[in-house]
Structure 1
Amino acid sequence: MGVPVLRSTCLLLVLAFCADARAAAPDTDQARRIAEQFLATRQASAGPQEAYEAGDVAVADLDGDGESEVVVLWTMLGPTHWHHGVTVLARKGQHYAPAGETDEPLGSVEGMVVRNGTVELKTKWPGPNDARCCPTVPRTLRYRWSAGKLSPAK
């Protein structure tokens, strides 16, 4: 009678330890702080006339490995230019570090949604008669996280 109870207790302790060993996903405020820290390091290596701002920040398990990634939509602002980027930050030990980002132009990004392992960007692109400042052609861009990089998804 004592051995089955002891086995059950040991199994529960092992399961509890394994559950605690996997880090909890960051909440919204923590994810925003993680994104801001990432952009502060990027800002430190930027020119004096460039500034980085975080836009949308999402927490999701992009690759189904049980660990949440932080996805950051950011904007680099220069004196006469700007561009958007998306970076995935993955847990490395006790902190999050850049694990990959988009390498292609994103247009004027109006928002980001992350669902079902896909990063979806709502963008505007210049039409034939648009001024550079004011694109009007809507386009949705989708990316999947795979092998450490964001790749276009259909």
Structure 2
Amino acid sequence: MLPVLTYEPLDPATVNNPYPVLAALREQAPVSWHDGMSSWLVTRYADCTAVLRDHTIFARDRRRTGATVPAASLSVQSLDPPHQAGVRSLFMNALRAQDLPALEARARDRAARPKCATRGRERSIVTDGLGRLLRTGHGRACAGLRRP
């Protein structure tokens, strides 16, 4: 049986300093199920690399687990090779057409500001980004693994 640890990525203490929690996960539960995110947490570098490189065992495409996914929700992030080739090609062509130095300058400027005003309140860019990631389901790198 897998150990149960509490991991809340949006907890203010975790957002402020995630390293102790991640170190504990790597030590005590390097692979564990997170009910709130409905996904597996893989915390060791070698394990993450293996998961990301082996699309025959680990699926990004939730349809491989029997889930119904609307066509509009399919993207480079949610398709497995070779099915992502056409979408990836379109994405890469669009990316190459961008003014990357200008995008980099905007990203650096945005990252230099530790807080951004959102809906009248101060919010952390990291917290907002993690929240968006979790709400949209893109944090499920191991969608092909089933819950224990």
Give the structure with the higher percent helix.
2
TM-score, structure 2 as length reference: 0.24
TM-score, structure 1 as length reference: 0.24
Give the structure with the higher percent strand.
1
Select the structure with the greater relative contact order (CA < 8 A; seq sep ≥ 6): 2
State the structure with more CA Rg.
1
